[in-house]
């Protein structure tokens, strides 16, 4: 086992630790009671976050999961259907929160490698309320698409899916945990990329490097309702400026996401060169590697990597995820590749 300080942690972009500047900002933050809306740092963060995605207002929430679940709750009535992609984070990795918290039933669409359903698939998935059937209350989309390997979904595809829902009077939420990765990869300003959705959640605590928090953005009325649901979910925080201050600095980290994308490409190239490994070229900072060809189950690869001092996560039986971020550079990627190659030889 490599010593802890030498561990190259590619499990997720959530593992970054706050920079010295972020720690200083937290210590020096002007604060107040944010439930009374008295925290100037949180207020500033909410203003700047709304601007960053071109929406009227934004709300600071403790996590991306809470942001998504608040959006589902505000946009739907209990007993509605939530239409979403089969591999989406809200469906796969949020503990059935849509059912438990919002009281909605989920209906999934298989969008395959497109990651976002076609307008036809959306229309097919929409349900009109009648004596026997619930109505669709919300369509949720995801960009970048985590499970599909950080896919950056082009604006026109998002717009087409959103338009199909809106034509039927159904609102649209975007799980944009990594929407700035998509914006940088596609070279499309974030406000343009999310213009067709009613609400968007993005994480400050992933590639942008903040220690805590996500933002939920939409129009004023939506955010006012979201503020009440945040309180209901136990997410009303007091002197939250202490953690919002690093979030303000995180918003400055958008352009440097391009470095993470270049490092991910370097990592994918190296992994793809290993015998029996298949690592498609990543759009952004998530590298997915398939090892069925090498007959190495992901669980074994993850263990071997951990022993060699590289963090990764199992995605599926033969699929492993590596994620680049603010705390790893090209040299770390090269070192990680050396270690992985060595570990694989032993398997
Ligand atoms: C990480 C992630 C979330 C949830 O964010 P947390 O802050 O970990 O709760 C939601 N959606 C996607 C696509 C994510 O990658």
214 lines ligand 1 (CB under 6 A): yes
Whether residue 2 is predicted with pLDDT greater than 80 in this model: the reply is no
Determine the length of the chain: 347
Give, using CA atoms, the residue closest to atom 2 of ligand 1: 177
The number of the ligand 1 atom at minimal distance from the alpha carbon of 12 is 1
Cβ of 321 below 6 Å from ligand 1: no
Q: What is the pLDDT confidence band of residue 4, given thresholds at 50, 70 and 90?
A: low
Asked whether 305 and 335 are in contact (CB, 8 A), the reply is no
Q: 163-207, pLDDT tens digit by residue?
A: 999 999 999 999 999 999 999 999 999 999 999 999 999 999 999
Per-chain mean pLDDT for the chain: 97
The finding on whether 142 has its CB within 6 A of some atom of ligand 1 is: yes
Pocket lining: 208 vs ligand 1, CB cutoff 6 Å: no
Tell me the C-alpha distance between 145 and 162, whole Å.
Answer: 16
Question: 172 CB less than 6 Å from ligand 1?
Answer: no
pTM here is 0.96
- Token pair in block for residue 53: 């995605």
Q: Quick count: other Cβ atoms within 10 Å of Cβ 273? A: 11
Which ranges of the chain does DSSP label H, i.e. alpha helix? 20-28, 40-53, 64-75, 89-92, 97, 119-125, 155-167, 179-186, 190-193, 220-232, 241-250, 257-272, 298-308, 330-346
65 lines ligand 1 (CB under 6 A): yes
Give pLDDT tens digits for 56-110.
999 999 999 999 999 999 999 999 999 999 999 999 999 999 999 999 999 999 9
When pLDDT is cut at 50, 70 and 90, the band that residue 1 belongs to is very low
CA of 342 to the centre of ligand 1 (A): 32
Instruction: Please work out whether the CB of residue 209 comes within 6 Å of at least one atom of ligand 1.
Output: no
Q: How many CB atoms lie within 10 A of CB 170?
A: 24
């Amino acid at each position: 086992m490599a010593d802890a300080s030498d561990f190259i942690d590619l499990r997720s972009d959530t593992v970054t630790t706050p920079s010295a500047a972020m720690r200083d900002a937290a210590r020096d933050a002007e604060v107040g009671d944010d439930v009374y809306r008295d925290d100037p740092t949180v207020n500033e963060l909410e203003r700047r976050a709304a601007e960053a995605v071109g929406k009227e207002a934004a709300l600071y929430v403790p996590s991306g999961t809470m942001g998504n679940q608040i959006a589902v709750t505000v946009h739907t009535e209990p007993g509605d259907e939530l239409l979403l992609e089969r591999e989406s984070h809200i469906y796969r990795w949020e503990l059935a929160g849509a059912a438990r918290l919002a009281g909605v039933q989920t209906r999934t669409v298989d969008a395959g490698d497109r990651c976002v359903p076609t307008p036809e698939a959306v229309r097919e998935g929409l349900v009109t309320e009648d004596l026997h059937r619930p109505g669709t209350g919300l369509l949720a989309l995801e960009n970048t698409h985590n499970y599909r390997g950080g896919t950056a979904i082009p604006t026109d595809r998002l717009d087409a899916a959103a338009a199909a829902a809106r034509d039927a009077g159904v609102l649209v939420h975007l799980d944009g945990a990594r929407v700035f990765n998509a914006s940088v990869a596609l070279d499309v300003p974030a406000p343009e990329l999310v213009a067709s959705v009613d609400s968007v959640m993005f994480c400050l605590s992933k590639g942008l490097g903040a220690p805590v928090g996500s933002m939920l953005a939409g129009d004023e009325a939506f955010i006012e309702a979201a503020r009440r649901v945040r309180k209901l979910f136990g997410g009303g925080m007091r002197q939250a400026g202490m953690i919002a201050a690093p979030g303000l600095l995180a918003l400055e980290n958008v352009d440097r996401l391009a470095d993470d994308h270049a490092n991910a490409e370097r990592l994918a190239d190296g992994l793809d060169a290993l015998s029996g490994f298949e690592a498609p070229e990543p759009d952004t900072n998530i590298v997915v590697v398939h090892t069925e060809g090498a007959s190495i189950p992901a669980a074994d690869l993850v263990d071997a990597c951990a022993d060699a001092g590289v963090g990764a996560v199992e995605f599926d039986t033969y699929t492993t995820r590596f994620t680049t971020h603010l705390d790893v550079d090209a040299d770390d990627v090269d070192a990680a590749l050396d270690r992985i190659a060595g570990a694989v030889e032993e398997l």
